[in-house]
Structure formats: structure tokens, C-alpha cells
Structure 1
């Protein structure tokens, strides 16, 4: 079942990329007590994700934080080392947290996974953005197949 506005974010564990290396973090601790923008990409270094999606959130980080967003997180079904390299390549620094969901467990818990086997990529996450306040979904923007509109940083900024 797909998560919807008003739902509590599912429990689960993600890998947060930090300066000290990969750290396990529970969804409950990550989303509790603050406003978070979580966006998902089908894959690190893939064309739209690398050229538009992640860079948009890096560029708009100060504006999003100016609207009360405490954390901005990029979620992808990639391993922690790929997410670390991608974050470094995109200069995410303290602007965007890179969250690895290597086995797609959290993405599946959200109900926002899809089968990309036809592209040789296995299970992946759909392109989406969620505004979470104190662990509850306030906005849910899931892209139509092949689109990049409602999950962009600019679109989310307009919702805040």
C-alpha cells in the first residue's frame, strides 16, 4: 500500500552518509520533531537525477531551510558508498543528507518502489518528494512515469 498524506512515515532503518562514514539511522529518529523534505531518485548518477533533481535541492537548500525545513534528504536504492561518492560529486555538504536504501526496504515500506529490471537496475524507488512534519506526511508528490515536475525543489518550495 502506498503512503498518503496524513500517514505516519513507516518505521525502518536507513544509512545516512556522514563525514565519519555511513551511519545507521531509524526513520523514527530522522523524521521526529522536525520538518523534513525527503526526495527520491531512481538512481545516483542517472541522467535526470544527476543533472536536475539533486542539484535543484542543493541550489534551493537555503530557501527551503528559510521556510522551516530542518533537513533535506535524498533517498535512493543505492549502496552507501555510491551515495557518498554522488554526494561528494554534487557538493551536497551540509545542504542535503544522502540516504542509502540499498535493499529497497524503506522504499518498499513507502509503497513507492518499481521494477527497473528492464533497464538492468532491479528494484528502484520512484521519483518523488515528501514533506514530513514530525513524522507525518504533509505533502506527497509522486512523478508520473518519465516526468520531472512535482518532485523538483522549486515545486516543493512553492508548497511550503
Structure 2
């Protein structure tokens, strides 16, 4: 599993933001900026839609005020699902990362096998990435939602 001080590994991802959709590498996406990344098991699922994502939408301006360049949400879903979820959650300020094949999630060592629920998904976590290097990491225990919320990582930013 990735840890504080590690660099974001190489993986192909699709990003969705106010400028549209793009395929890129994780290394390129996280380079030369400060990114708060949070990940969750699936778009349109109860905890993810009712608590996790909305917290980052509400606190977006607070992250920007603390010097964060990008607030990004990752899920092992395809780009079409992530774009629809972004629109339905009024999350246009966030960058959605569609990790459809779980390439980045696997490279990070943060997979979660949900069996019949959806197969391989991402564990729930938040991290701060500064120029491609992880400087903060909060991984939830199974079925937890206590340390990866917006309030926690916002409080960890200096």
C-alpha cells in the first residue's frame, strides 16, 4: 500500500472537470500542483452520495483557501458514470477521476474486493499529494467512514 513520502505510481486515468474529459497519466495529473484526492467504493452508492462526496463539495472553497489547486474524487467507475454523478451532485468544481479498470487503485495498493456488489473497487480514503508525492494519507477500515471525510483532511492541511 502506498504511504506518506511515496510518489504517485504510473497508471492511466480519465479525468472529468469543468473543461471536459481527458485521458492522462496519474503522474502527469498530480505533477506541479497540490491535490486533495479522496476515493470511494462507488458512484451513486449511499454513503458515497449522501456523505463522502457532499462534504468535499461543501468545503471546496476552504480547500482552495488553504492553497489546494485541485480537489479530486476517484472511483473505480467508468467516465460516463463519473460524469453523470458529478452533475447529479453539483460537483462541477471537483475533478472526477474515473479509474474504470482499477489501474491506479491497484498501483496504489488500495483495492477492495466487494464480490457481487461490484467486484474490485477502491477502498475509502483521502490523501494530500504535493507535486506527485503523498504528504497525508487517511485510509478507512472496512466499512468505515471516520477519517477520509473532508473535515479531517482539511484539518490536516497546514
Q: TM-score, normalised by structure 2?
A: 0.96
Shift of 1:105: 0.9
Residue 134 (structure 1) aligned with residue 131 (structure 2): yes
Partner of 2:109: 111
Distance 1:18 1:3 in 2: 25
Distance 1:37 1:144 in 2: 20
Native 8 Å contact 2:17 2:94 kept in 1: no
Partner of 1:100: 98
Native 8 Å contact 2:30 2:131 kept in 1: yes
**Unmatched tracts of structure 1, length 5 or more:** none
Distance 1:88 1:35 in 2: 24
Partner of 1:152: 149
Q: Deviations over 1:71-126 (max 9, x none)?
A: 01000000000000000001111x2101100111110000000111142x110000
Partner of 2:37: 38
Distance 2:36 2:78 in 1: 21
Tell me the SS of whatever aligns to 1:139: strand
Residue 65 (structure 1) aligned with residue 64 (structure 2): yes
Residue range with higher mean Cα deviation, 11-20 or 136-145: 11-20
Q: For this pair of structures, how many residues does the alignment match?
A: 157
Distance 1:110 1:62 in 2: 28
Shift of 1:22: 2.8
Tell me the SS of whatever aligns to 1:56: helix
Q: Deviations over 1:18-66 (max 9, x none)?
A: 4564310211221111110110010001000000000000000000111
Residue 22 and residue 114 in structure 1: after superposition, are their counterparts in 2 closer, same or farther (change >3 A)? same
Residue 123 (structure 1) aligned with residue 120 (structure 2): yes
Distance 1:79 1:110 in 2: 18
Alignment map for 1:13-92 (pairs within 5 Å): 13-19=12-18, 21-92=20-91
